[in-house]
Structure 1
């Protein structure tokens, strides 16, 4: 499911490119709308990625106005066609408050800090089910579909163009018993196995480091091919926030670098995970 392009992310790229073209030419949204006899709202919706299926004629009109020709024009029109498709994830659309699977599929690197949970891309089915059941937010009849969708997301790591994944996990997430001690032991041993994946780097922040830069909570940094802006993803039980503001993203890069520098190295991290798994085994 991770193969191919994501129409949702293509729409995001197209919106960002059209906005940049207008700004580079020093034109206001009202001026562009006036020349094309559009409402200003129509233009701003296209630049905010608030459209479902971009119309080729509309994009061509903008490119004509901005005098975009040659390879740049061909690229943006190709992007327009790709943006009109439907995501491979459409059957799970009601389960995702945002476009996380599409963003993961298009990212070149994902850096994630988790304080209390195992990262979603590295969860076992039993652990994921226990998380959804404990939340009491996901209706019981949706739990299995939620688990299926989370397991399917992992396929992004095996896609040739899939992202590198760097996960920094607080020791608390390893010790908190979710589901049962048996579920936790299985989950931690799966983590050890996933750490051998060529696209996965797994680091643990031990209790002994005390306070650190990421104490305020979990987040992910998604990075895309240049010049695409990065995104900070912050999820709660009821919503996911995706923030592209450059200063906000840069701040989270600093936060991640800080906690990353305090984490154990890969070998010591795996040793700690295995030792905690053994402790869960004794309780199972």
Structure 2
């Protein structure tokens, strides 16, 4: 998810490069790219104008649509490390790799024994998973829930992958009653 923020020289520079990549490596305008990514059109505009800070998942998805790979992403991130430090929620490297794979996948198969797949989790359910697992400090839970929700944009893309999810749990055993019924 892109978060509104006052633009700075770094964020405008970051946005300008993303816009140039879109214009030179795709035949899409900002609205068409947003539709393909399953985003609101204002999200692309705000990111490209440096008015919104994209998450790393947003950037992985955006750069994938521009034909870029994880190595390009890592180089891009290094070149704009000051902008990333202030404006982009940090995502662990292994999750960034998963998001890149999901963005380029034509098919996704998932079998989960204990929980619902992260690509299908509601925010309430994801929060319950993080709280009950005990591996995450309380302050990071909202950020991690947002990252998980951002990944779901791959399911709204124009050319989204064919997906098959097997969920073993009969009844949700994670979260409070509203989270369980929402899931």
Q: Alpha-carbon deviation of 1:7?
A: 8.8
| Aligned residue-pair number | 115
* Distance in structure 2 (CA, Å) of the matches to 1:94 and 1:83: 12
Higher relative contact order (CA 8 A, sep 6+): 2
Q: Residues 95 and 83 (structure 1 numbering): CA distance in 2 closer, same or farther, change over 3 Å?
A: closer
* Distance in structure 2 (CA, Å) of the matches to 1:116 and 1:132: 13
For structure 2, which runs of at least 5 residues remain unmatched after alignment?
1-57, 79-83
Q: Alpha-carbon deviation of 1:166?
A: 0.9
The structure with more radius of gyration: 1
TM-score by length of 1: 0.36
Q: Runs (4+) of structure 1 moved beyond 6 Å? A: 6-9
RMSD (Å), alpha carbons: 2.9
Q: Which of 80, 94, 98 in structure 2 is aligned with 1:97?
A: 94
Cα deviations across residues 200-250 of structure 1 (Å, max 9, x unaligned)? xxxxxxxxxxxxxxxxxxxxxxxxxxxxxxxxxxxxxxxxxxxxxxxxxxx
Match of 2:113 in 1: 115
Q: Alpha-carbon deviation of 1:10?
A: 2.1
Q: Which of 166, 169, 175 in structure 1 is aligned with 2:167?
A: 169
Q: Alpha-carbon deviation of 1:95?
A: 3.9
Q: Alpha-carbon deviation of 1:184?
A: 0.8
TM-score by length of 2: 0.53
**2:64 paired with 1:5:** yes
Say which SS state the counterpart of residue 165 (structure 1) adopts. strand
Q: Residues 156 and 120 (structure 1 numbering): CA distance in 2 closer, same or farther, change over 3 Å?
A: same
